[in-house]
Amino acid sequence: MNLVDVVAMLALLQYIVFSALVGRARIQYGVRAPAVTGNEHFERRYRVQMNTLELLVAFLPALYVAARYWPASFVAAAGAVFLVGRFIYWRAYLADPDRRSLGFGLSILPVFALVVSALAGALMASTA
């Protein structure tokens, strides 16, 4: 389970870094809170942060429930793909939002795989 815990904490750390980058962008681009619009470069960073938060809501529970039924190495590997996907998404979205597809795919597919794995594991355990 340690690998799963490491991946979960890395996902939270990644989100915290994205949040800090939004804070820095507020200063850099003069977007005062509570505004979330006003400068395209700020808005890109903000959207990466918010999209990451939206996915974390599904990712973290799916990660831990899947880890109850499947090998930690499989679950942690799926989580690692999520982390890489979020990094690629961040880089691509800041450069050109139209190029975010690969990063989003590498983020959402592991979440979907973990949800399906968690559900399958729970259903198989309930029939055993």
Tell which residue, 115, 91, 117, has the closest CA to residue 104.
91
- Single pTM value for the model: 0.95
Which domains, and CATH codes, for the chain? Answer: 2-122 (1.20.120.550)
Over residues 61-72, the pLDDT tens digits come to 999 999 999 999
3-state helix, strand, coil in the chain (%, to 5): 90, 0, 10
pLDDT in tens, 27-46: 999 999 999 999 999 999 99
Nearest CA among 17, 24, 8, 110 for reference residue 64:
8
